[in-house]
A = this chain, B = another copy of it.
Amino acid sequence: MAENELKTRGVAPLSEKHRPGAPAVAATGKPKRTNNPQAMRARILDVGADLFQRHGYNATSMHDVVRAAGTTGGALHHHFATKKSLGLAVIAERVAPEVEATAIQPVSNASSAASGIRAVFNGVADTLEHNRAVTGCPLNNLALELSLADPDFREAVNAVFDRWRAALSFRLHADHPEMDEARAHDLATLVVASYSGAMAMAKTSQSAAPLRACATQLETLLRRT
């Protein structure tokens, strides 16, 4: 803390030699650069979400993000000073909305909790079968890799899990007012857990079958409730 002022670790500027940041355009009237911070930020987030999803957080380097986003290290650093800040932003601005759209809203809007849950499982299974590789649930991927490594990550992921479970629990209670809250809570936990686990199995088996199996069994459980 006290040695900050001694942190002159950079090299003294070699007047002539050191020229970082070459001119964006030599002399012609080329496109130069288009300042568009929102689009740049969005593109970095998209690329980050995609790479973290496909290769994992630790296996993705900042350079990978720079290359895939077609940008530069300076731009990346401007928007996200550290890898961790990019990771947290990806969770909050990409993963959480995706969970909201693909898993929470369909259940909230369905005619019943049971049919909504089945629709979500089978809908995701359909999507998986259309794609080439099963990359798993983005939330689950990041949860397992990062929740022990850093409390901030753990908190961020946990918030999404909680939101999801709470929404399910609310819908179950709405469908079945006679069901006590603890039961609804446990049931919602089972649904979320089996979705996460089924996605893990789907990833390792590269098949949507585990999702279909869980959808079937969960429905019989929910229908008898």
A residues within 8 Å of B by Cβ?
54-56, 58-59, 133, 135-136, 140-141, 143-145, 147-149, 154, 157-158, 161-162, 185-187, 189-190, 192-198, 200-201, 203-206, 209-210, 213-214, 216-218, 220-221, 224
Looking at A144, A145, A158, A210, the one whose CB has the most chain B CB atoms below 10 A away is A144
Contacts of A145 in B (CB 8 A): 56, 144-145
Name 21 interchain pairs, CB-CB below 8 A, sorted by A: A54-B148, A56-B58, A56-B145, A56-B148, A58-B59, A135-B148, A136-B144, A136-B148, A140-B144, A144-B200, A147-B203, A148-B203, A158-B204, A186-B217, A189-B209, A189-B210, A190-B194, A190-B217, A194-B194, A195-B197, A221-B221
Tell me whether A214 and B200 are in contact (CB under 8 A).
no
Q: Considering the chains assembled together, what is the distance between the CA atoms of A197 and B193 in angstroms? A: 4
| Residue in chain B with minimal CB distance to A205 | B158
- The oligomer's copy count stands at 2
Tell me whether B141 and A144 are in contact (CB under 8 A).
yes
Q: A141-B144, A158-B204 are in contact. Are A214 and B198 (CB under 8 A)?
A: no
| Residue in chain B with minimal CB distance to A54 | B148
| Residue in chain B with minimal CB distance to A216 | B186
- Distance in angstroms from A104 CB to nearest chain B CB is 16
Contacts of A218 in B (CB 8 A): 190
- Distance in angstroms from A119 CB to nearest chain B CB is 18
Q: Considering the chains assembled together, what is the distance between the CA atoms of A195 and B135 in angstroms? A: 20
Contacts of A158 in B (CB 8 A): 204-205
- Distance in angstroms from A87 CB to nearest chain B CB is 13
